Structure 1
């Protein structure tokens, strides 16, 4: 009896290990585990496949207690999760100093969840960035978020004295100088300098610049609506493709016309450039779609046709294209794995100088002339000065508002405001005095030069 019992225990132990390795494989591949029922999921089907090579596993699966229930799966996944986190924390404890990255959002049920990543340098001087969990908090106040940060570090047995940097977004509850989360953390650990993600900053610069210019904002919004129509209407997509074929435009595909990303402003260049390069095809396809009937898509196509036939829409896209392209290149440099603090700041400086060089009448004149020539080619509505509004008689004695002498003067003002917003945004948001970058520039120079300042 003892021999049979020992053999049964060995079979159960080996089979249980195969359950763990099977679910580990599915987790590693990012595959779904469950199906519509207990026997149709990838987990059970993979176990059946493995049982062909291991008959004892097939016998184990037929038992009443076999630990393949959803609850058993969740417990196994939780054990893997804890094991991974322990390894990450052990590695950080071994190497000492670390940084913390926190960002949050609401799930579909409206609960606020904060994701936490830990960043450190290993013994090979390679930077590691590890995600360690999502944590629910009752409120989004700075006090609540800072308390969560302290709680996580305590649970992981990571000393606060080794925290050297903290990275959040630019919201007031996170970045506030006096009562923000970063300020509360620095009260306990002054060496934990605060940084705002540089890639996120460049996106915010473009977002604020677009909002400040009605001309650019409207042009980008119509381009976004065109992409939405392309995605939602199969009929319009087919018409667009047919016109491309008839014009022998093999380089253009309907997928090139897409909605603009609402949060990542610097991912918009392909959509903007595609609209500029294929403006005539867009006009023809919208005209054909608007004439097919009274459907919602036809109505939207008719409205978009009216907007794209205006010369100011083309001008707005041409004005936006160059700054977006420059900031997209800047964004790529800032996200490079080999980027350094001094190199990043030098890139921002060069980009700012390039933007300021475009703040001139000559640059806008070239854009305006090119827009007028293309407008004539596409038979667009000419660029004109908006109708002047007459003030009420009771205000007739007041000084009249300046009226531009010609359309170029009118649109030049909006162009200069847009370029100025981009330039000012780069200067203000990458100001060394507003973050811990100044201190890290000194440390970097000390390491590269060997001179202690």
Structure 2
């Protein structure tokens, strides 16, 4: 070894008056640093050198801790609360560990013997935070070098707090599309300035530049898509290439809503359907009556009643179809439910839906709704696929409109009319009738020709 200091290697050290100074100089010498490096390479743990039992115990503790980590990962992956409504030993996490102890005696002994088993709530939260940050870090690493779009929506949680859901859609080098949820972030207000601030903070936190953003996707609310101060406008002022696209799923929902509200028959049908599902699903007593009758008159495995969603129009055909498949059961249920009802208001509601289900208009509206809204539901499901691009969405919209237009002809209506008439024979529904003739107001009368009225039931429902 070069630069050897013989007084520390071979000769005796005698200059004790300057010992402190000499020791400091020697500590910074190349000879001393090289000696330390050679000694510290591949040095085992002191505990392992002193005892092989300590090494085995450390390996065992590490293995048990991995089981704890995997248990937390499983609960988080399945969306199960770690503690749930219970506390202490009654929590989901502790009960899962007890279940795993049935097949792993070592884990049982470890949890029983040790006090620091990393199962305390604070440790659970810390582990979850570390895992979440690791996931977001991996997402940020992948998105950082690729083009991406921002998808965000605001909603109010059950805790009455405003929160912003943020997703990032990006394309990798193999042109594969990815959609990653970044998280839920609480908002102090739903104003556009606050939302922009949160979005910019999230991008800064993930070390992602807005210059790579090429798209924005929000709903049509004024704070999100406003032309003057909306979120989309403010981000476009920073990065002009981040184009705003109104969410296709939201646009489809609005289109279905506007189209149906312009048709009185369909509007009344959906209102009655909502009342029917509320009377069954919101009352345990009537639900029991319905299920009892259903087991007696319908085959096993037939679907039950689906709740009618008041806002998501593309899922309404599921509710309408469940009504049609349980039509006779519901009609029989209303009579038994009225006998069991106590107040007059509930009896009036039951009598109202019973009368509506006996009319041909409601039965006709259910069949029409299942057919027409069924295409909208298929369109909505296709839009939710990750691989769909904006161009694919437009093509799917054109195909849906073309399909609906193809149904607006005499042959398609006659086929549907025959199906409805054949289904009507199995339920208690009245014959189709013409509405009462209404004379045109005098101010609208022109010429001397007599007024014309539709004289055919088929023509009336065809219109």
- The bucket for the TM-score relative to the shorter chain is 0.7 to 0.9
Matched position secondary structure for 1:256: coil
Question: 1:313-332 residue pairs with structure 2 within 5 A?
Answer: 313-332=362-381
Between the aligned partners of 1:404 and 1:378, the Cα distance in structure 2 is 32
Task: Give the C-alpha shift of residue 56 in structure 1.
Answer: 7.8
1:139 aligns with 2:189: yes
Asked if 1 retains the 8 angstrom alpha-carbon contact of 2:305 and 2:319, the reply is yes
Q: 1:189 to 1:408 in 2, by over 3 A?
A: farther
Q: 1:60 to 1:165 in 2, by over 3 A?
A: farther
Q: 1:78 aligns to what?
A: 129
Structure 1: 5+ residue stretches without partners? 392-396, 417-453
Between the aligned partners of 2:386 and 2:257, the Cα distance in structure 1 is 25
Q: 1:58 aligns to what?
A: 111
Q: 2:353 aligns with which of 304, 322, 333?
A: 304
Asked if 1 retains the 8 angstrom alpha-carbon contact of 2:357 and 2:429, the reply is no
Question: 1:197-216 residue pairs with structure 2 within 5 A?
Answer: 197-216=247-266
Between the aligned partners of 1:182 and 1:77, the Cα distance in structure 2 is 33
* 1:313-360 Cα shifts (integer Å, max 9, x gaps): 123223323211222222233334444544432332232123234446
Between the aligned partners of 2:121 and 2:200, the Cα distance in structure 1 is 33
Stretch of structure 1 that moved more, 146-155 or 366-375: 366-375
1:103 aligns with 2:153: yes
Q: 1:184 to 1:352 in 2, by over 3 A?
A: same
Q: 1:313 to 1:400 in 2, by over 3 A?
A: farther
Matched position secondary structure for 1:185: helix
Q: 2:305 aligns to what?
A: 257
1:126 aligns with 2:179: no
Q: 1:275 aligns with which of 323, 343, 346?
A: 323
TM-score of the two chains, using structure 1 as the length reference = 0.75
Q: 1:142 to 1:408 in 2, by over 3 A?
A: farther
Q: 2:138 aligns with which of 83, 87, 109?
A: 87
Matched position secondary structure for 1:135: strand
Q: 2:217 aligns to what?
A: 167
Q: 1:227 aligns to what?
A: 277
Matched position secondary structure for 1:378: coil
Asked if 2 retains the 8 angstrom alpha-carbon contact of 1:226 and 1:259, the reply is no
Asked if 1 retains the 8 angstrom alpha-carbon contact of 2:359 and 2:429, the reply is no
Between the aligned partners of 1:44 and 1:259, the Cα distance in structure 2 is 35
Between the aligned partners of 1:46 and 1:75, the Cα distance in structure 2 is 19
| Higher gyration radius (CA) | 2
Between the aligned partners of 1:280 and 1:211, the Cα distance in structure 2 is 28
Asked if 1 retains the 8 angstrom alpha-carbon contact of 2:432 and 2:457, the reply is no
Between the aligned partners of 1:11 and 1:56, the Cα distance in structure 2 is 15
* 1:46-88 Cα shifts (integer Å, max 9, x gaps): 556558415884376425xx65332232222112211111111
Task: Give the C-alpha shift of residue 184 in structure 1.
Answer: 1.1
Q: 1:68 aligns to what?
A: 119
RMSD across aligned positions (CA): 3.9
* 1:81-138 Cα shifts (integer Å, max 9, x gaps): 1111111111212x32111111111122322100111121234432221111211222
Between the aligned partners of 1:274 and 1:182, the Cα distance in structure 2 is 40
1:158 aligns with 2:208: yes
Between the aligned partners of 1:104 and 1:43, the Cα distance in structure 2 is 31
Stretch of structure 1 that moved more, 79-88 or 321-330: 321-330
Q: 1:407 to 1:268 in 2, by over 3 A?
A: farther
Higher relative contact order (CA 8 A, sep 6+): 1
Matched position secondary structure for 2:211: helix
Task: Give the C-alpha shift of residue 185 in structure 1.
Answer: 0.8
Asked if 2 retains the 8 angstrom alpha-carbon contact of 1:289 and 1:301, the reply is yes
Q: 1:387 to 1:289 in 2, by over 3 A?
A: farther
Q: 1:38 aligns to what?
A: 88
Q: 1:381 to 1:345 in 2, by over 3 A?
A: same
Q: 1:155 to 1:60 in 2, by over 3 A?
A: farther
* 1:387-433 Cα shifts (integer Å, max 9, x gaps): 85998xxxxx74469987247699959x86xxxxxxxxxxxxxxxxx
Asked if 2 retains the 8 angstrom alpha-carbon contact of 1:11 and 1:56, the reply is no
Between the aligned partners of 2:166 and 2:272, the Cα distance in structure 1 is 37
Q: 1:277 to 1:149 in 2, by over 3 A?
A: same
Asked if 1 retains the 8 angstrom alpha-carbon contact of 2:150 and 2:169, the reply is yes
Q: 1:42 to 1:274 in 2, by over 3 A?
A: closer
Q: 1:217 aligns with which of 232, 243, 267?
A: 267
Q: 1:140 to 1:279 in 2, by over 3 A?
A: same
